[in-house]
Every structure is written in structure tokens, then in C-alpha cells.
Amino acid sequence: MHLQTCLNKLQNWADTNGFKFSTSKTVCMHFCRLRKLNPEPELLLNDTPIPVVEEVTFLSLIFDRKLSFLPHLTYINNKCMKADRKLERPV
């Protein structure tokens, strides 16, 4: 698989140059707007399987597989509603 070959090259480069990937922070997400999703890849980084996730937070943005940003908008809406409720309480 082409993705696994690229990951192997990245791992070799990291090992050669003194870098280390955090396997606990590494996830895989397949972005696709099609109704029927493709099968999930089985990828390894440093002989550790990379989990495939439905959503991931990166730089405070929540990405979902279809790039709809609905989970992010829901999160922001809930956060605003909580802040609004705090403002309504008398001190």
C-alpha cells in the first residue's frame, strides 16, 4: 500500500534525524464525502497500529470524515450556550 510505504519512509527519516513520532497522538482519518465509505486502511507507525477515527481535533478545530464541520459547530454552539447561561445568573 502506498500510504504504508510513505509512513515507513517518514519513520526512517525520523529515526535517522533524531525525531520521534508520538504514537499516542497519531490517528488516521479518511476524508470522503461519498455515502459509502471506503474500507479503512490498516497502517502502522513504528510497528504500532494507527487507529482510524471518526473525528479529530487539530488546532482547536474538530474535523469529521465528511468535512461537514457539524461536530465543531455543535461544540461551539454548546460552549456559547453555557457562557450565555452564566451571564444570565444574578451575582
Transcribe 42-53 into DSSP letters: --EETTEEPPB-
pLDDT of residue 40: 81
Q: Counting runs of H as helices and runs of E as strands, what totals does the chain give?
A: 2, 4
Regions in the chain scoring below 70 on pLDDT: 36-37, 89-91
52 by Cβ neighbours in 10 Å (0-12 / 13-18 / 19+) ranks as: middle
pLDDT of residue 37: 63
Domain boundaries, the chain: 1-52, 54-91
pLDDT of residue 84: 79
Place of cell 476524508: 31
Taking alpha carbons only, the member of 51, 11, 9, 44 closest to residue 30 is 51
Query: What is the DSSP code (8-state) at residue 69?
Result: -
pLDDT of residue 70: 95
pLDDT of residue 18: 96
